[in-house]
Structure 1
Amino acid sequence: MKVISIIGHKKTGKTTLVSRLTKQLSRTGKVGTVKSMIYHRFNPDDTDTSRHFDSGADMVTALTKDEFVTISKNPDIEKALDTLADNGMDYAIVEGDKNSDLPKILLGDMDDDRHIKNVVEQVPDVSHINTDKIIEIICSQPDWVTLDLLVKKVKNNPEIKKAGAIGTFTGVVREITSEVQTKMLEFEKYETVAEDKINQISVELKQKPGIVDVLIHHKSGRVNPGEDIVYIVVVASHRTELFQTLSEAIERVKSEVPIWKKEITIDGNYWVHDHG
């Protein structure tokens, strides 16, 4: 899923730009949006759902004739984007949230421009926007990937009718190794080389008898303890081929893909090539 954030002061045309991009992107894929509403409450007082929520429910789902709305506690931009990805969105457009690390389109000027991270394009106002150029920028961004998104992708493969099993592997950051406590891991990869190698592994594994599809994704950057590092999804006709291929995929990613791991521990930092 490709992600972009639209930021700027009020009346700069953020909502107008989000609407234009949504209309254009929806011609080629599914679009989800996120609206930053820090000073609003989406679930109004004196409604049944607000009473459920205020009584202690962690999540409330409302069904109307035309809508399906879920309200959850502990708001978080990453959680919101994960939800969009899990539901098979191809694009996510965030309106607001200037303090995130997301790639951003800045409309106009902001007082703290120098402190805003990852501004990939800045324009005076919405009247100066070339939406085709903005869409090119969106499509060039790194993919936001979740395990559910990959499973949905393989299920949309026309060859899925040949499948009898889907197996997945999720590698996570281990916090305790022997007596060493890991604070975080930092992954660096030669983007094109690493992705080309991952694609090569996927293609070669798909040639094995009984294998219908293989998808692999490895994160880069900083990953905290308990968070996901790598996803592997294998679709096979039978479980025997599935487990053999899933195991082979794991080992090949560990040994063949040029990704380096920096262990940041309470005892010090060091780089290793084994990133399992």
Structure 2
Amino acid sequence: MRPISIVGDGAATLARRLADRLDGRVAVVERDDDPNGAPESDSTRSDPAADGGVVGPAQRSGADTAVAFDADGNWRGRGSVEGFDDLLDGLAPDHDYLLAVGEPRLRVPAVLLGSDPDPERVPGTVVVSATAPDRVDLGDVVADLDSAEPWITRETLVRRAEASPDADRAGAIATFTGRVRARDGPDDDRTTHLAFEKYDGVAEDRMAAIAEELAARDGVFDVRMHHRTGVIEAGEDIVFVVVLAGHRGEAFRTVEDGIDRLKDEVPIFKKEATESETFWVHRRD
């Protein structure tokens, strides 16, 4: 999935135009709060219990998630997540694009609208700045979005592996997830984030070659890899390896070999930021 943040006056209008232009499944996520950032009042929602009715779990005001689903497969709902990144992770496997309207805090490509757009307002790369939605060239936005790094999750790779034509012969899926460790020992300086850089195309080609070689093993049907780049904060996911195999033995061995070869053979450079210093890891090794 390729996400983009659209911020400023007319963001919703531009999102509708862009959604019509994109090919594939598109998710549009809009902020639903007042100008002060507080959630809109839910006081107008009726309470069936007030008239002696039976309240189902999805009708309780305290329900974490409520979904209405019809016979045609259409649904609408409400729920909660810890953060916007969690929402992206949940939508990524089923969508090709996500348009985040009015959400400036994402580390994804961004479009800024308004008479005086401030690039410092967003942590992501600003691909377009314009005074109004009709001043934005949609073709340029689509091109920039398609060339940006996609938002890949472990579940995305699992879904792709499960789509293998040999999936009916597979009895195991093994996965590895690498994440940012805050500290090795209790007295260590806390790592606040890591920043990863790679040569465009080179890392992807090497990972693809490793995956192809591993998938050629007897009993292994599909291997998927992805390494995120940019700034990744403590506790966030960095890298995924997914293996579809006939049995757990082949799956476990291959997923271990996969992450070991990725770390040894793929040219990705890591800068670590702790509470006291910042340094390139390869220069310390």
Alignment partner, residue 218 of structure 2:
209
Give the TM-score, by structure 1 length.
0.83
Alignment partner, residue 21 of structure 1:
18
Alignment partner, residue 68 of structure 2:
63
Alignment partner, residue 52 of structure 2:
none
Q: 1:47 to 1:140 in 2, by over 3 A?
A: farther
**Counterpart-to-counterpart distance in 2, 1:43 and 1:240:** 54
User: How many residues are treated as equivalent by the alignment?
Assistant: 264
Misfit runs of 4+, over 4 Å? 40-43, 48-51
Alignment partner, residue 258 of structure 2:
249
Q: Does 1:231 align with 2:236?
A: no
Give the superposition deviation at 1:210.
1.8
Alignment partner, residue 265 of structure 1:
274
Task: Report the 3-state secondary structure (helix = DSSP H, G, I; strand = E; otherwise coil) of the residue aligned with 1:247.
Answer: helix
Alignment partner, residue 3 of structure 2:
3
Q: Does 1:221 align with 2:249?
A: no
The one-letter code of the counterpart of 1:127 is: D
Alignment partner, residue 30 of structure 2:
35
**Counterpart-to-counterpart distance in 1, 2:225 and 2:109:** 23
Task: Report the 3-state secondary structure (helix = DSSP H, G, I; strand = E; otherwise coil) of the residue aligned with 2:129.
Answer: strand
CA RMSD of aligned residues (A): 2.7
Give the superposition deviation at 1:257.
1.3
Percent identity over the alignment is 33
The one-letter code of the counterpart of 1:232 is: V
Alignment of 1:100-111 (within 5 A): 100-110=106-116
**Counterpart-to-counterpart distance in 2, 1:244 and 1:41:** 48
**Counterpart-to-counterpart distance in 1, 2:154 and 2:4:** 20
Give the superposition deviation at 1:102.
2.7
**Counterpart-to-counterpart distance in 2, 1:105 and 1:99:** 12
Give the superposition deviation at 1:89.
1.2
The one-letter code of the counterpart of 2:24 is: G
Gaps of 5+ in 2: 48-56
Alignment of 1:152-163 (within 5 A): 152-163=159-170
The one-letter code of the counterpart of 1:38 is: D
Alignment partner, residue 133 of structure 1:
140
**Counterpart-to-counterpart distance in 1, 2:59 and 2:281:** 52
Task: Report the 3-state secondary structure (helix = DSSP H, G, I; strand = E; otherwise coil) of the residue aligned with 1:97.
Answer: coil
Q: 1:266 to 1:107 in 2, by over 3 A?
A: closer
Correspondence for 2:177 among 154, 170, 177: 170
**Counterpart-to-counterpart distance in 2, 1:261 and 1:219:** 11
Q: 1:62 to 1:150 in 2, by over 3 A?
A: same
Q: In the TM superposition, what whole-angstrom CA distance separates every residue of 1:69-98 from its partner, at most 9, and x where no partner exists?
A: 131165x3222212211x421110111123
The answer (yes or no) to whether the contact 1:185–1:261 under 8 Å persists in 2 is no
Give the superposition deviation at 1:267.
5.3
